[in-house]
Amino acid sequence: MTVVILITLFFIILRFTVTLFNFISDPKLRRVGKHYTDKVSILIPARNEADNILTLLQSIHQQDYPHYEVTILDDGSTDNTYAICSKFAQTHPQFKVIKGGQLPAGWIGKNYACHQLAKLADGEYLLFLDADEQVQPGLINSAIHRMHQNKLGLLSLFANQEMVTPGEKLVVPLMHFILLNLLPVRLISIVKNSSVAAASGQFMLFNAAIYHQHQWHKAVKGKVVEDVEIMRLIKASAYNGEALLANGMISCRMYKSYAEGINGFSKNFLAAFNYSVIGLLIYLMLVIVLPLIIIMTLNLPLILFMSGLIILTRIMISLASGQNALHNVVLHPLQMFNLLVIAMLSIQKHLTKTTVWKGRKI
């Protein structure tokens, strides 16, 4: 039992140290006053996004960066996505909407949509956004500055997450929790080895010349977690890649209910562990099972020490990601339970090959 307790404390302290590093290093996109004139092609794949996409289009139009074009690809929507985008484009000449082609065998839908969009773009930078987002003034200019400053092939941002319903608050914070608790984000750009990689498909800004040369989405056409895979390819090809927190300049409401959140995260959670069921189970043991063992010892000093580190971890992650720290501390046990539910569903869907997203089998 002593060995188990020591292992538990070691990994809790290690994860606390990673979180502390992220909190102190503050890996966020900074606002800049310098203005750029590079043309940016903003590319938006959309499938059944009638409830969301108008907010994104309006927020892009309100940007303080004038040198852009926007192309929306309607990826076989069965709702009013195409009609909404077409109506908006009629009165906004920098916007256009197209119908996507039939999905070829071997492709994931989003990857093929992005591939088609890239072929139509002529900007010096390609910015891929998800349709359920909202951008703030200063975002594009600040991102282009970062591309110039660090000579990046790819800049990816982790958007601030909007949560309205109690169900969302029980699930969505897990994204930043896993990221900032496991990976020192600054190392993505510092360490050149491609194994140190993370990215978010919610914001992917590419150097267009490099993108067109390698056709990154085609290179990962069958990958569910295409964003991380592309970052790995970027680094493996000796280009600079960086991932940062969005610092409030882009936000997203990923899911609108508890059920949506559980289903959405479970579709690709195992993919984040390279489809290693054993790797995922080890992670669950370190994060959930071992802390429960500490509690079962009824050793009050140990329990208080562990709880203090967990509480401080949740506070730092919440502040860094623009979330409510009190909510995440109070809801931590329920969020860990939902982490377990998501992991088990992800394993079950993978083994039975029943993963479906937006009407398509993955």
Strand partners, 204: 128, 156
Rg of the chain, C-alpha, whole Å: 21
Structure tokens at 345: 């569903």
CA distance 113 to 127: 13
pLDDT of residue 210: 98
pLDDT of residue 225: 86
Q: Is the confidence at residue 73, as pLDDT, over 90?
A: yes
How much is the average pLDDT of 333-358?
87
pLDDT of residue 214: 97
Residues of the chain with CATH 3.90.550.10: 40-258
Given a contact cutoff of 8 angstroms between Cβ atoms, the answer to whether 125 and 206 are in contact is yes
Mean per-residue pLDDT of the chain? 93
Give the tens place of pLDDT for each residue, 303-340: 999 999 999 999 999 999 999 999 999 999 999 999 99
Residue 360's pLDDT band (cuts 50, 70, 90): low
pLDDT of residue 297: 86
The CA-atom distances, in angstroms, between 65 and each of 90, 204, 295, 323 are: 20, 17, 53, 28
pLDDT of residue 328: 97
Give the tens place of pLDDT for each residue, 83-130: 999 999 999 999 999 999 999 999 999 999 999 999 999 999 999 999
Cα angle value 148/63/163 (rounded, 5°): 100
Q: Is the confidence at residue 353, as pLDDT, over 80?
A: no
How much is the average pLDDT of 189-209?
94
pLDDT of residue 275: 79
Share of the chain above pLDDT 90, in %: 79
The SS3 of residue 68 is strand
The CA-atom distances, in angstroms, between 290 and each of 3, 16, 27, 175, 274 are: 11, 15, 29, 21, 23
- Domain 40-258 is classified in which CATH homologous superfamily? Spore Coat Polysaccharide Biosynthesis Protein SpsA; Chain A (3.90.550.10)
Residue with tokens 């509480």: 311
Name the nearest CA neighbour of 97 among 115, 117, 111.
Answer: 117
How much is the average pLDDT of 207-211?
98
Q: How crowded is residue 193: how many other Cβ atoms within 10 Å of its Cβ?
A: 10
DSSP letter string, 298-355: T-HHHHHHHHHHHHHHHHHHHHHHT--HHHHHHTHHHHHHHHHHHHHHHHHHHHHT--
DSSP letter string, 219-275: HTTT-SSHHHHHHHHHHHTT-EEEEEE-TTSEEE---SSHHHHHHHHHTTTGGGGTT
Give the tens place of pLDDT for each residue, 170-192: 999 999 999 999 999 999 999 99
Q: Is the confidence at residue 355, as pLDDT, over 80?
A: no
Question: What pTM does this model have?
Answer: 0.92
